[in-house]
Amino acid sequence: MKFFIDTADIDDIKELAATGLLDGVTTNPSLIKKSGRKFFEVIEEICGVIEGPVSAETVATDHKTMLEEGRRLAGIAKNIAVKVPLTVDGLKTCKTLSDDGVMVNVTLCFSATQALLSAKAGAAFVSPFVGRLDDISEDGMALIEDIRLIFDNYDFATEILVASVRSPMHVLEAARIGADVATIPADVLRKLFDHPLTDKGLATFIQDWEDTGESIL
């Protein structure tokens, strides 16, 4: 499964990209606002750090303007994935951009039929929001299972990009189901490295090595 980081914080992106485990970045207007920086400045810098897909979101709601925005965003860098909402106008824009060879990430997906429409519109990615479904007492991971089954039935190339990830358990369940990508907040991604038994074992090994009085270097 690919790991994207869901942030516009360039320091977090650089730090986690240095692990070699980061495959892409997703942003949205809320994350850009949180960064306190100019939109194009942030997106251009991220594209310079990450070789994989970088999702940049349109803000228009009508097809004509959304398409114009999408084309401008796609011109920032070759690894831009234009992000559009899962609406009629969004899917029309997705179809046009996809036909032109532009990567499109269809966002705000909350049903399997919406995901099916996204795949038929040629989306490179569809982003089901599992955490937001959990928040209203629906099963976000059941949605991922349904989408995986449908996409496999018809060999759709659209990748399932699990979004609104709240915990390491969301990442684990997404991987078990066979999602293609999880886009993960930086704090959740860091938690994937942690386990108390790893810390305990490492401390023991270090102490035992120090007791030998030897040196590798």
CA distance 211 to 149: 55
Taking alpha carbons only, the member of 73, 77, 124 closest to residue 101 is 124
163 DSSP 8-state letter: B
Spell out the alpha helix ranges (H) of the chain. Answer: 10-17, 29-35, 39-49, 63-74, 88-99, 112-120, 130-135, 140-154, 168-177, 186-191, 196-212
In the residue annotation, 83 being an active-site residue is answered as: yes
Which of 6, 76, 84 has the alpha carbon at shortest distance from 41? 76
Question: Nearest CA to 173 among 130, 118, 115, 125?
Answer: 130
For residue 24, give the nearest of 41, 42, 49 by alpha carbon: 49
Catalytic-role residue among 83, 95, 120, 200: 83
Query: Residue 135 and residue 28: Cα distance in Å, rounded?
Result: 20
Give bridge partners of residue 109 from the DSSP assignment.
Answer: 128
Residues 123, 125, 127: CA angle, nearest 5 degrees: 120
- List active site positions: 83
